[in-house]
Structure 1
Amino acid sequence: MPANRLVIENCAVATMDTDGTEYASGHVVVAGHRIESAGPGPAPEDLTDVVRRIDGSGHLLTPGLVNTHHHFYQWITRGLAQDCGLFDWLTTLYPLWTRIDEPMVHAAAQGSLAALALSGVTTTTDHHYVFPRGAGDLLGAGIRAAAEMGLRFSPTRGSMDRGASDGGLPPDFAVESTEGALLATEAAIDRWHDPSPESMLRVGVAPCSPFSVSSELLRSAATLARAKGVRLHTHGSETVEEEEHCRERYGMTPTELLESTGWLGPDVWMAHCVHMTDSDIAAFARTGTGVAHCPSSNARVAAGLARVPDMLAAGVPVGLGVDGAASNEYGQLGAELRNALLINRLGSHREKSLTARQTLRMGTMGGAQVLGRQEETGSLESGKLADLALWKVDGLLHSSIADPVAALVFGAPAPLTLLLVNGSPVVEDGHLVTVDEDTIARTTRAQARRLASLAGLTPPTPPTARPV
């Protein structure tokens, strides 16, 4: 018999399985790293080797959330370029980002990961694409932070090889050579990627965007990724300016450019995809290309409203993403559930755009599918990895909402009583158990100030209190 069983019972359960199975009062049994069973009512009394039994009364149990797009390093540049569109926002921040180093990235990753875990995330990706010379092991800094936090991690080795002198958006000092980027990406895969079924670490290939990389890098990166058996990620169709750039330089739309360079397929996912035509959506659906929907970030830089209901109706895999904390200072995926639901109702489908359950599915099974891990996580089913979140929905801000899924998605951020990753606790009673939150706060504050100083910025001082 399997040892070290953990039982959660007497709670509402939203399994997010193919049939959308839910239990008004149900249970989940965890054995080691995996879910042993999920079902209605309390768990069997005759279970052996139970090391912990949790009464989940007043709670909703869901799969852990899956974050499909992020830039961890941006945690230490939050609150800047507050009133900019994407291109102006980027050109404002590139000079700061090219001064980052390994201690800064480790601290920023800790801050980003802490925010994610406290909002119910069990699996996350990161897209790191800025590698100043002599800055240290920046990809390794994020990987180390994720291991310390205990989250399942899918980092992507990003790159930029087309600077301003070659018609790209980033300054020349922020880019790598094409050959250098490909060699470093291959080295990262060889060093870090773990394809095993219970893997906590899978590496992807991620040239940054159509306006910062060459078509040569796109083609060669796709070839490399498929030779190594890893996934591909980039930004796509994020802004009107991006489409204008692609038409002017390549005579193609972003989707046409990406398809011409081998960047559509079931092993690819794109961030944002705000400005998608019917033919773009059809191409994504036909090829199984996934989308990371980032509603808060899209609003922050005024990128526009993605056609998520149309993508879902066409069969496009769609997950949710926080995006970098410099374009989403909240930094938590739990908030993206509510924002995705509400923002999409401003579009042409109005109140029929998304339901609470469709939105929760995007944040769980949808994200797992986008990252290629739908057979292992994303739903509460026997044999799947024990990545789950137990939300308290009987407190002041939720108790009058009879539907627990609506309480989680429509309501205020729900307190997180327990977050399990691979069967191990990462959050208990709303606090991290694997790392110290106060230490992370101090370290990220110090590194943000150090970066600002190196960049010649004066940190703002709080306003002087005035007598009432």
Structure 2
Amino acid sequence: MIDILICDAHLYLDRDWEIAGGWIAIEKNRIHSAGGPGQPRPEGRRVINAQGRLVTPGLVNAHHHMFQNLTRAYAPIARSGLFQWLQQLYPLWSGLDEEATYVSSYISMVELLLGGCTTSTDHMYVHPRPGLMDAGFAAAYDVGLRFMSTRGCMTRAQENGGLPPAAVVQDEDTIMADCERVVAQFHDRAPGAMTRVALGPVSLFSASEQIMRDCLTMAERHDLRLHTHLAEDEEEDDYSLSVYGCTPTEHFERMGWATPRAWVAHCIYPSSSEAARLIRAGVSMVQCPSSNMMIGNGSADVMDLRERGMNVGLGTNGSATTDMASMWMEARNAMLLGRMRNGPASMVARDALDMATRGGAACLGWGDEIGHLRPGACADLVIWQDSPIAMAGALTDPVEAWLRCGPMMAGTTIVNGKVLVEDTHPLQPGLADALRRHAIQARRIQKLD
């Protein structure tokens, strides 16, 4: 007898594999089997009747900054561009400590579960105090989210031509020592891992050439993923030309980062030839549609990149550039941006869903186990909760309706075979306390007390 049987669902199991009125079985923490209405199904200790709703793989968030929800919708930066809002927020983020990092991570993860996300990254690059990575992993353990944390860093302070104040910058030796510690303590290479680590100097305008090379060397030694922001803003081009005498993408290549182990956030402004070189090198990218629109700095032509062979995932990014961490929203906005850019025939809901599942998994180097629901995959899935009013009349295509109608929430979210959201309600017993503690930390960080 299997552990969980979900029946009477429209199953989106993988690209080009869907079953109407089907069932899917979970045994322990893996997908056991799936079938159609006429196929014999196993008995389950728990049976969930999906009542015709859509079931998809859990969405994969390939770029986030969880600590930033402590400054969510921060009013003084409402009209700021990228460099300006960073300069205004860095002094606030210098107040981060373990408590603030834990509660911001906890709330982020629960919010992501409600938006159908079962695996998330966190690009944690502000380290005014030691131990902040540990707090993020502690939150992941408590919430139950599958988690890849990127040990980010900044080495170039304002006095050295960077954007951040000295309080959030570290020297190269301190950074690399902590990277080694975090990898040894939290990076699980085993199949079905719940925690993994990547390395990620935040950007070329805040990280030295030495730290870029040191992270590359360590990633090759430990077989880790590499992550950074790249070609996000036109001001970045100006900075790179003045400091390095080349474009951001050319600097990325000179540092040796054009490798299949790297995925980059945004990648809005590479030239066509630069994009072609990144694709040939096997670099993946993640689009953050809501962030791109909120800050008004453009957005990559992701369908063109996909057609040219690049793996493209989706991410929520952090608060201040986007203040709603919903992967459903990112998938919808990715579809709308794509259609607005290239016309209605250029992108449909299944393209966006593929980016939010298989695409994100490829960015993280986790493609064999997550992002799909074939037998043997990790048991990470979502039964979507629709509104009878919003869905009235949507009778022909449940996947297209999933993004065109809504808004949608996860009715049931299962991670590693465990139900973490049920009937749209998160099941974490510590949530109320985490919200109370988060409110205290947000007021402290924003200097409102």
TM-score band (shorter)? over 0.9
Counterpart residue number, 1:287? 281
Any unmatched runs of 5+ in structure 2?
Answer: none
Aligned to 1:338: 332
| Amino acid corresponding to residue 376 of structure 1 in structure 2 | E
Q: What amino acid is the match of 1:216?
A: Q
Distance 1:219 1:36 in 2: 43
**From 366, 372, 396, the counterpart of 2:365:** 372
Partner in structure 2 of residue 221 of structure 1:
215
Which residue does the alignment assign to 1:307?
301
Q: Identify which of 386, 390, 393 aligns with 1:393.
A: 386
Amino acid at match of 1:13: L
Cα deviation, residue 136, structure 1: 4.4
Is structure 2 residue 3 aligned with structure 1 residue 10?
Answer: no
- 1:112/1:325 contact within 8 Å kept: no
Query: Corresponding residue for 1:463?
Result: none
Structure 1 distance, partners of 2:25, 2:111, is: 27
Cα deviation digits, residues 127-181 of structure 1 (max 9, x gap) = 001111xx34111111111111101000010010111122112122321112211
How many angstroms does 1:57 deviate by?
1.5
TM alignment of 1:251-262, pairs within 5 A: 251-262=245-256
CA apart distance, 1:101: 0.7
* Residue type at the aligned position of 1:404: P
Deviation digits for residues 208-266 of structure 1, max 9, x if unmatched? 10110011111111111110111100100100001111111111111111111111121
Question: TM-score if structure 2 supplies the norm length?
Answer: 0.96
Pairs aligned (count): 446
1:145 maps to amino acid: A
Q: In structure 1, what is the equivalent of residue 356 of structure 2? A: 363
Q: Which secondary structure state, in structure 2, belongs to the residue aligned with residue 54 of structure 1? A: strand
Which residue in the other structure is 1:204 paired with?
198
List per-residue Cα deviations over 1:370-414 (Å, max 9, x = no partner): 111110111110111111001133622123212111121122222
CA distance in 1 between counterparts of 2:437 and 2:390 reads 32
**Cα distance, 1:136–1:169 mapped onto 2, change above 3 Å:** closer
Find the partner of 1:99 among 95, 101, 122.
95
Q: Distance in 2 between matches of 1:204 and 1:380?
A: 25
Amino acid of the structure 2 residue aligned with 1:83: R
Equivalent residue number for residue 31 of structure 1:
27
Instruction: Give the TM-score, by structure 1 length.
Output: 0.92
- Residues 11, 59 of structure 1: 8 Å contact kept: yes
The yes-or-no answer on 1:449 pairing with 2:443 is yes
Look up the equivalent residue of 2:86 and give its one-letter code. L
Structure 1: how far apart are the matches of 2:141 and 2:404? 32
Match of 2:271 among 277, 291, 308: 277
Letter paired with 2:285 = V
Q: In structure 2, what is the equivalent of residue 464 of structure 1?
A: none
The one-letter code of the counterpart of 1:28 is: I
**Per-residue deviation, residues 19-73 of structure 1 (Å, max 9, x unmatched):** x11112111111111001122216625x35x211111123001000000000111
Indicate conservation of the 8 Å contact 1:291/1:318, yes or no: yes
Q: Matches of 1:4 and 1:141 in 2, distance apart?
A: 35
Match of 2:398 in 1: 404
Which whole-Å CA distance do the structure 2 matches of 1:187 and 1:85 have between them? 35
Distance 1:5 1:173 in 2: 50
What CA deviation, in whole Å up to 9, does each residue of 1:85-107 have, x standing for no partner? Answer: 00000000000011111111111
Alignment-mate amino acid for residue 276 of structure 1 = P
Q: Structure 1's 340 and 145: CA in aligned 2 closer, same or farther, altered over 3 A? A: same
Distance 1:329 1:447 in 2: 17
- Report if the CA contact (8 A) 2:386-2:406 is conserved: no
Partner of 2:186: 192
**More displaced stretch, 244-253 vs 116-125:** 244-253
Residue 191 of structure 1: how far off its partner (Å): 1.4
- Give, in whole Å, the separation in 1 of the partners of 2:47 and 2:184: 41
Q: Where do 1:47-126 residues align within 5 Å?
A: 47-48=42-43, 50-80=44-74, 81-126=77-122
Write the distance in 2 (CA, Å) between the matches of 1:146 and 1:192. 11
Whether contact under 8 Å (1:300, 1:328) holds in the other structure is: yes
In structure 1, the gaps of 5 or more residues are 460-468
Deviation for aligned residue 1:440? 2.9
Q: Cα–Cα, structure 1 residues 450 and 277, in superposed 2: closer, same or farther, change >3 Å?
A: same
What secondary structure does 1:319 align onto? strand
1:296 aligns with 2:290: yes
> Between the two proteins, what is the percent identity of the paired residues?
38
Deviations along 1:413-444, whole A, 9 cap, x unmatched?
A: 22322111111111101011124443332221
* 8 A contact 2:69–2:318 mirrored in 1: yes
